[in-house]
Every structure is written in C-alpha cells, then in structure tokens.
Amino acid sequence: MAEINVSVNGRAYTRDVEPRTLLVHFLRDAIGLTGTHVGCDTSQCGACTVLLDGRGVKSCTVLAVQANGAQVTTIEGLETNGALHPLQAAFREAHGLQCGFCTPGMIMSSVDLLSHNPHPTEGEIRHALEGNLCRCTGYHNIVKAVQIAANTMAAGGSAVAAD
C-alpha cells in the first residue's frame, strides 16, 4: 500500500491505496465521487476526464499514486453552492447530451480548453474534444454548448442557478 495525499475539488484526502489503483477508481470507489465515468477503459473515449493540476487527463490511464500531491477537479467540483458552472448550464441549454454518459468528460475537457483559450473557434473546439467520444449527439450540440459557455464566461457570467 502507498499513502497518497490528493486534493479533490479543494478538499484534502489522505488514503492508503494499492499502487495499481487507477485514479478513476480512487475517485469513484475510495472517495465516492461517481460523476467521473469509466467508458472504454482504454484511453480512447474520455468519459473519465478530470483535471489534474488544471489540465485534462484520462483518469483511467493515470495511477492514483501519480496524483499524489496534486490538485484534482472532477465534474462534482464545478458547481458553486448549488449553481451550475456555465458549461453545465450550456450543455443543458443547447441539449448537448442525450444519454449523458460522456458528458462529465466532455465538460471537463471543455473547462480545460476555455481555461487557456477563452474564445475558441468552432474548429478549435472540435480539435480540443478529439479525445472525447459521444455516441448519441453527433457532436453539433456539444460544440454549440461550448460556444454558449464561452460567451457567457466572456461576458462575466459565472454560475447559473440549478433547478
């Protein structure tokens, strides 16, 4: 076992983990944050995307011990006092999801994109989401949602009250 200290959504966790524990299993099973999904489990679909020290990574291909000392942000960490993050609100508004399985990863990749490129073109959005697969939507409404969120955030909007 290895002891790790990880900050998840701003809260510090100290846990003993088997070194082979994948970050996604640490988040889902050790901490109980099940918003991060396991899709393909082979580094392709991106459903497991989280932010590791601010950059999007596929948490099915990261060992929990690699996150020792790091800051992790998951989909659960985006809301503020019950208000949705602009990306969450935009995915709802633009109908950027159908079954919703890929959505946490799509949103976390989009958070990464907008953090270093606040005004992406449609092409840049599509390239930024190359590592996230959706089997329902055909992607168009996902791209629209990211565009809406970029506009909201550029206009100074932050969180949107959830129903």
Partner 1 sequence: MYPASFEYHPAASVQDALALLAKYGDEPKLLAGGHSLIPVMKLRFASPAHLIDIGRIPALSAITDGGSAVHIGATARHASVVSSPVVRQKVPLLAEVASHIGDPLIRNMGTIGGSLAHADPAADLPAAMLALGATLVATGPAGTRTIAADDFFTDVFTTALHPGEMLTEIRVPARGAGSGGAYEKNPDPASGYAIVGIAAQVQVSGGTITAARVGMTGLGPKAMRLAAVEGALTGKPATAATVAAAAAHAADGLVFVDDARGSAAYKGNLARVHTRRALARALAAATA
Q: Tell which one of 15, 35, 76, 131 touches partner 1 (CB under 8 A).
A: 131
What mask of x and - would describe binding to partner 1 in positions 59 to 98, judged by CB under 8 A? --xxx-xx-x------------------------------
Q: Report the run of H or E that residue 161 belongs to, with start and end.
A: strand 160-161
How big is the site for partner 1, counted in residues (CB under 8 A)?
A: 32
Is residue 20 classed exposed, middle or buried when 0-12, 13-18 and 19+ CB atoms within 10 A define those classes?
Answer: exposed
Q: Which position has the token pair 């396991």?
A: 38
Span interacting with partner 1, options 7-15, 57-65, 72-80, 142-150, rule CB under 8 A: 57-65
Q: Measure the CA–CA gap between 93 and 78, rounded to whole angstroms.
A: 17
Q: For partner 1, which stretch binds (CB under 8 A), given 79-87, 90-98, 130-138, 145-153?
A: 130-138
Within its chain, how far is the Cα of 127 from the centroid?
16
Confirm if 57 and 49 have CB atoms less than 8 A apart. yes
Cβ contact 146:91 at 8 Å: no
Cβ 22 vs Cβ 63: under 8 Å: yes
Question: Among the candidate windows 26-34, 49-57, 94-102, 146-154, which touches partner 1 by CB under 8 A?
Answer: 49-57
Q: Is 100 near partner 1 (CB under 8 A)?
A: no
Smallest distance, partner 1 to C-beta of residue 58, A = 5
CA distance 142 to 132: 11
Q: Any contact of residue 112 with partner 1 (CB under 8 A)?
A: yes
- Angstrom distance (rounded) from CA 98 to CA 100: 5
Nearest to partner 1 of 64, 84 (CB atom): 64
Q: Is 43 in the site for partner 1 (CB under 8 A)?
A: yes
Binding region for partner 1 (CB under 8 A): 2, 18-22, 25, 41-44, 46, 49, 52, 55-58, 61-63, 65-66, 68, 109, 112-113, 127-128, 130-132
